[in-house]
Amino acid sequence: MRISLLTLGVTALPGVVAWGGFGHITVAYLASNFVSNETTAFFQGLLRNDTEHYLAGVATWADSLRYTRWGRFTGPFHFIDAKDSPPTYCGIDYERDCKKEGCVVSALHNYTTRLLDTELHVSERAMAAKFVVHFVGDIHQPLHTEDVARGGNGIHVLFDGRNFNLHHVWDTSIPEKLVGGIHRKPYEAAKRWADVLTTEINEGKFLSAKDEWLKATNVSDPRSTALSWATESNAVVCTTVLPQGPDAIVGQELGSKYYEAAAPVVEAQIAKAGYRLAAWMDLIVSSLRNQPSPGDL
């Protein structure tokens, strides 16, 4: 995997909302609600943003980068193509499914490692942080862990009477409908949704599940952690995304019964992503704090 972006001269890109941007921004705000004060200070300093938007402001940066001439090589880092057969069988084989150019599992491993590397230039570590924020979101979107029809991009469906591909429905249509539409103000809507999910995690429907969400989290083994998250997301392809298989869903209206089944799953995946991102960031800062200083070596 290509690991350096310093030579690109890309230190910041406009905070545009790519498709699925609303979900990524929500994950970022949610994480910022849970990180420790020490973690907040560290990442605000690294990202040079001391506002509450320090994570949300970079949440879609990786999507912006992939569509530039300089960042095109990062395209494969947003997904892993599980060559399984939903709904009969879902599962990820890392050696089989992660392309030689990289995948979301190897990318999360790589950029976490770079973020922890204090010998790298601060701009490289800031870029690594932006990638980590984005890829934790990507890995919780089930169709970012599936090979069938290019992760659902080749499956054409209807959603509330409009033509979309299945990937777009999961990336954008379902999350936006869940909150009643975003009305061209994604950051405000994402912040409100993140605050609602924060309450659900602290004292609501996700309270009993939140400890289980973190059981496989080990910053000393980023690849295994990322693979466990991807495998969990991929299982949703069989249970909820394609419960009758890919052929059965083509051309179907997904804005009613399908939406009713999928919406709680999307909500849970967003909640997991934000809560896990916060824990991941806390672990990164804790690991950096515990690294020996040059005088100790």
Q: Would you please indicate which residues are annotated as catalytic (active-site) residues?
A: 19, 24, 63, 66, 78, 134, 138, 144, 167, 171
Report d(CA 123, CA 9) in Å as an integer.
10
Residue type for position 6: L
Nearest to 144 by CA among 181, 97, 96: 97
SS3 call for 159:
strand
Question: Does the CA dihedral 88-92-97-102 come out positive or negative?
Answer: positive
Please give the torsion angle defined by the CA atoms of residues 234, 106, 171 and 282, in that order, rounded to the nearest 10 degrees: 100
Token readout for 149 is 């029809």
Report d(CA 196, CA 173) in Å as an integer.
19
Nearest to 3 by CA among 120, 96, 136, 159: 120
